[in-house]
Amino acid sequence: MNYLERILIFLFVGLSCITLNAKKSDPKTILVVSGWQDVNIGDIAHTPGLLHILETYLPDANIIVWEKNVGKEVEEFLYKNFPRIRIVHGTVDKNAQVDAQEVLKAFQTADLMIHSSGPYVVGQYHLEAWVKYTNGKPFGIFGTTIPKVDNRLKNLLEQADFIYTRETASIDVLKQAGITGTHIRFVPDATFFFNLHDKKKGNAFLKANGLEKGKFICAVPRLRRTPYYRIKNRHLWSEAKICEVEAYNNKYKEEDHSKLREAIISWVRETKNKVLVCPEMTYQVDFMDELLIDSLPADVKPYVVKRGYWLPDEAASVYAASFAVLSFECHSPIIAAANGIPFFYLRQPDDTIKGQMYYDLGYSDWIFEIEETTGTQIANRLTEIEIHYPDAKRKVITNQQEISDIYKKACMSIRNLLYQ
C-alpha cells in the first residue's frame, strides 16, 4: 500500500466517522397526539406540559402536534408559548384511515410518535394510523391512564415501544391483560411540568378581588358524573341517559360538597382570609353557587370570591399566589403542585383510577376519599398545613424534583429510540 492509498483510506474513514456523528446529531422529529378537549383546563394543560418536558430533555427535537379536538383560542395559546412547534389537523376514522395531507406528511417527516397524557388511550385510532402508515416507526404512550384493555387495544399496546402510565394501577391492568416488560413504567401526568403563566390577567384578577398572596385558598367543585350534555353534543344523549346522570349527581352533590364547605367555613373563621371558588371545567361555573356558596353562613359569604372559566396559564398564576388548592377535580391540584403550592385532592369514587397517582407520589395525607372523609378531617388537615406551612411547601418542591427526574429518565429512553 503506497502513501497515497494510505492517505485516501485515512480520509475515507475520517469522513465516515464525521458522517455517522452528523447523522446521530441530526435533529429528529416527534409527532405528539394530544388536545382531547378544551372545556377542561386539565386537558388543555396536558399538551404544554408534555411540550415543556420534551423541550427540556429533548431540546434538539422538532415537534409536530396533532391536535385531536381543540378550538382556535387554545391553538393560539400553544403557538404563543411554543413558537417552534407545528400543529396539524385531520381526523382519523375507526379503521385508522387518514385523508388529511398535512397529517400524512407529518407521518413521513416524524421519526417517533407520542400519545400525550389522558384519561385513557384517547388517541387510539391516531396511534393505529401511525402504525398503519409508517411501517414500523417507534411510538409510545406518555403519562396516560389505562383503565381497561380490550383485544384491539392490546394488539396496539403490544406494538408500543414504551408505555408510560400515570399511575401504578394502570400497570396492574396491563399485567392482567398479559402486557409486561421493562418498557412499561410509572411516569406521572405531564401536567406536573406545566410551567406557563398569565401574570397580567392573574394579577389583575387578584388585585380586583382583594386576594393577597398566600392569604386565600382555592376551592374547585365537581359533579360525580360530568354532564357533557350541558357542554356539547346534547343530541347524542337520550333523555333517559340525561335523567340517569342528573339523578345520580343530585344524589351525591350535597353530601360531597358539604364537606368542602365545612373546610371553607373553618378557614374563614380561623384566619379571616378569603376563598376563591373557581372551575376546572366550563360547566362548573353554573353550579358554583349551589354547591359551595349559597349554603354558607352569613359571616362567611363576604369572604368568598368567584371566577369564571379560564385558561390554565391564568389559573396557574392565581394558584401560585394562593395558600392552598382544595379540589374535587384532579388537575387543579397538579397545577398547584407545579407551582410549589400545597393542595388537597377530594377524590370521588367515579373519578377513575387516575387518583392512584397521588398515592404513588407520596401524597396520601393530602388525598381524601370523599365517601370515607368528614368535613372536619379536611378542615383539620388544612389547619395542620397552616401551622407547618414551610414543611408542606418543601414536600411539594421535593416531590416536583423527583417527578422531574422521572421525566428525564423517560426521555432518555425516548432519545435512545430516536437514535438507535
Instruction: Give the tens place of pLDDT for each residue, 100-139.
Output: 999 999 999 999 999 999 999 999 999 999 999 999 999 9
For 351, list phi and psi in degrees, rounded to 5. Answer: -90, 40
Euclidean distance between CA atoms 384 and 48, whole angstroms: 33
Task: Give the burial class of 247: count Cβ atoms within 10 A of its Cβ; 0-12 exposed, 13-18 middle, 19 or more buried.
Answer: exposed
What would the grid cell of residue 98 be? 387518514
Kindly tell me if the per-residue pLDDT of 175 is higher than 50.
yes
Residue 388's beta-bridge partner residues?
Answer: none
Could you tell me the CA-to-CA distances from 268 to 120, 217, 262, 274 in Å, in that order? 38, 10, 10, 6
Would you place residue 71 in the very low, low, confident or very high pLDDT band (cuts 50, 70, 90)? confident
Q: Mean pLDDT, to the nearest integer, of 299-327?
A: 98
Selection from 219, 333, 221, 328 nearest residue 277 by Cα? 219
Query: Is this prediction's pTM over 0.85?
Result: yes
Euclidean distance between CA atoms 354 and 288, whole angstroms: 24
Can you give the pLDDT at residue 8?
Answer: 35
Euclidean distance between CA atoms 225 and 410, whole angstroms: 33
Could you tell me the CA-to-CA distances from 412 to 24, 34, 113, 404 in Å, in that order? 15, 21, 15, 12
- Cβ neighbours, 10 Å, residue 301: 13
Residue 92's beta-bridge partner residues?
Answer: 98
User: Any idea which residue has 418542591 for its cell?
Assistant: 397
Helices (H) and strands (E) in the chain, counts: 15, 13
Query: What domains sit in the chain, N to C, each tagged with a CATH number?
Result: 25-193+402-418 (3.40.50.2000), 199-387 (3.40.50.2000)
pLDDT tens-digit map of 203-217:
999 999 999 999 999
Q: Is there a contact between 250 and 364 (Cβ–Cβ < 8 Å)?
A: no
Euclidean distance between CA atoms 299 and 269, whole angstroms: 8
Euclidean distance between CA atoms 91 and 68, whole angstroms: 8
pLDDT tens-digit map of 31-69:
999 998 889 999 999 999 999 999 999 999 999 999 987
